[in-house]
Amino acid sequence: NAGVTQTPKFRVLKTGQSMTLLCAQDMNHEYMYWYRQDPGMGLRLIHYSVGEGTTAKGEVPDGYNVSRLKKQNFLLGLESAAPSQTSVYFCASSYGGGLAGEGVRRNEQFFGPGTRLTVL
Amino acid sequence: KNQVEQSPQSLIILEGKNCTLQCNYTVSPFSNLRWYKQDTGRGPVSLTIMTFSENTKSNGRYTATLDADTKQSSLHITASQLSDSASYICVVRANSGGYQKVTFGIGTKLQVIP
């Protein structure tokens, strides 16, 4: 199993350009997440999905859109990139979503290798 | 506001030595706490998980402790190896009306030198 994969690994954009980051998982997980990691800050949740066809906003959703057309894929889009979106982006997936009463092992998040994005 | 604070921010130790990393949290109501290891240029990987009723959990040379009363956790690494060089992230889940919310610490960057 490949686990969680992300495409591309690196990207440089100019302000105003658009792009899509692709995340794929082969573990049949229901839940998928997009995070950004910035220096001096913990991982912050951008958007997440609780299943195919669903998406929801996280802590820092502005400037991003997502889609989950297939269970195994979770796409993160930047419509008009800004320098403030320079960051390392991580995708993660989990079998469970951390609902009350759920076994803790079900909500372990498995992370992809990250995409380093620079917006000039 | 739920917060997770880790100390020290960075640490350099000699290969073979032990070290302890700290995590203090204000997350409430508490559900569980995980320690993740993040190698440079990679995504985080779970090391241990502890619930309210557990006060210690081991994974090889890694031992995590939890004091839910003082809201503190530590990660002890024994006989460090060069491959232990990484960032260690403390992650705390809170129960929130049926959905558990996750708060990530900034991490402690550990460097093991020969």
Q: What is the pLDDT of residue B14?
A: 98
Which of B4, B98, B107 lies closest to A99 in CB terms? B98
Does B4 sit within 8 Å of A98, measured CB to CB?
no
Residues A24-42, mean pLDDT to the nearest whole number: 93
Contact residues, chain B to chain A, C-beta under 8 Å: 4, 31-32, 34, 41-46, 49, 51, 89, 93, 95, 98-107
Q: What is the pLDDT of residue B35?
A: 96
User: For residues B44-81, b (16+ Cβ closer than 10 Å) or e, as one string?
Assistant: bebbbbbeeebeebeeeebbbbbebeebebbbebeebe
DSSP reduced 3-state for B4: strand
Q: Categorize the per-residue pLDDT at A102 as very low, low, confident or very high, splitting at 50, 70 and 90.
A: low
Q: Among A43-57, B11-25, B42-56, which range has the highest average pLDDT?
A: B11-25
Exposed / middle / buried, residue B97 (Cβ in 10 Å: 0-12, 13-18, 19+): exposed
Residues A10-31, mean pLDDT to the nearest whole number: 96
DSSP reduced 3-state for B26: coil
Q: What is the pLDDT of residue A24?
A: 98
* The B4-7 sheet, strands edge to edge: B4-7, B19-25, B72-77, B62-67, B56-59
Number of Cβ within 10 Å of residue B101's Cβ equals 17
pLDDT single digits (tens) B78-112: 999 999 999 999 999 887 765 668 899 999 999 99
Q: What is the pLDDT of residue B71?
A: 94
Does B46 sit within 8 Å of A40, measured CB to CB?
no
Beta strands A10-13 and A115-119, pairing class:
parallel
Of the candidates A1, A5, A2, the one whose C-alpha atom is nearest the C-alpha of residue A114 is: A5
Q: Categorize the per-residue pLDDT at A104 as very low, low, confident or very high, splitting at 50, 70 and 90.
A: low
Distance from CA of A16 to the nearest CA of B (A): 27
